[in-house]
Amino acid sequence: MLEFRQKTETVSNNSTAEDGPCQVSQDKGFEKDFGNGIEEDICRNLLEKASNNLEGDNRDWLRWSTISKEKLTDCKVFSVSKVHSASLCPERKRGNFYTLDCSDWVNVIALSDDGKVLMVEQFRHGVEDLTLELPGGSSEKYDESPLVAARRELKEETGYEAGEWIELGKNHPNPALQNNLCYTYLARQLNMVEEPRFDETGTERIVSRWFSLPEIEEAIRNGKISHSLVITAFHFLALHRNKIF
């Protein structure tokens, strides 16, 4: 329960193109089947390293190491890659895994002087429904840092700028598939400087609404706020409440 008080690439989803969904080749004839040349030498080195790290607290044997990576498709907000990897363990497993290469994301908790949070509501095509979220989005190539991206997203989506910024935390949105981070910032000393600026294609429609922290907690409890990264952002805020309020 939340309490607000005033005052290498990531391993993916174990699916292979050759063997079908959720299967990984586990044959013992690793050296014979895996190939020749550089690829085989790399794998031998990995296995030798693993055999020396199976005792004590060393967890290197849990790891996999990338042999090759092939980009399959490039979309606007992510690209899909096939990663060929070998495990660092005596079982000598290998397989093809699929990852989503994404830019880092940002979430902004814009907190007013009277303790209210600026939320945004928009239609999300993944769930085909309206979602209640925080201002935020992807870091662009021209953003020098996550903080620069957070400032830009807040201004674009709400028209607000902030005089004080605090990084509350960062997390991996989905480490099974994605290689990016999501940064959460607290923005205070708000000042509206312009009208919101949306996507030039005209496909972005956003409405801003203010909520008190008790209303936020109730919206999380009853499922009105269901976006996992938004819920994580408010958890970060709760962890910092003694320093903030």
Task: Report the CATH number at residue 111.
Answer: 3.90.79.10
Tokens at 143, concatenated: 């953003």
- Print burial letters for 21-55: b (CB count within 10 Å at least 16), e (below 16): eeeeeeeeebeeebeeeeeeebbeebbeebeeeee
Task: Among 61, 84, 102, give the residue marking a domain's end.
Answer: 102
44 and 114 fall within a common domain: no
149 and 92 fall within a common domain: no
| Residue 176 and residue 83 in contact, taking contact as beta carbons nearer than 8 Å | no
| Residue 204 and residue 198 in contact, taking contact as beta carbons nearer than 8 Å | yes
Distance set, CA 55 to CA 40, 51, 86, 219 (Å):
25, 9, 20, 47
| Residue 93 and residue 47 in contact, taking contact as beta carbons nearer than 8 Å | no
Distance (Å, whole) CA 159 – CA 180: 27
Give the 3-state secondary structure of residue 146. Answer: helix
Distance (Å, whole) CA 13 – CA 99: 8
* Domain extent for 173: 105-244
Mark residue 47 as left, alpha or beta (left: phi above 0; alpha: psi -120 to 50; beta: remaining): alpha
Task: Among 87, 102, 117, give the residue marking a domain's end.
Answer: 102
Q: State the CB neighbour count (10 A cutoff) for residue 1.
A: 6
122 and 43 fall within a common domain: no
**What pLDDT does residue 23 have?**
33
Question: How many domains does the structure of the chain reveal?
Answer: 2
84 and 175 fall within a common domain: no
**From first to last of its 245 residues, what are the pLDDT tens digits of the chain?**
455 544 333 333 443 333 333 333 333 333 334 444 555 566 666 556 655 555 556 677 788 889 999 999 999 889 999 999 988 776 678 999 999 999 999 999 999 999 999 999 999 999 999 999 999 999 988 778 999 999 999 999 999 999 999 999 999 999 999 999 999 999 999 999 988 887 666 677 899 999 999 999 999 999 999 999 999 999 999 999 888 87
| Residue 136 and residue 105 in contact, taking contact as beta carbons nearer than 8 Å | yes
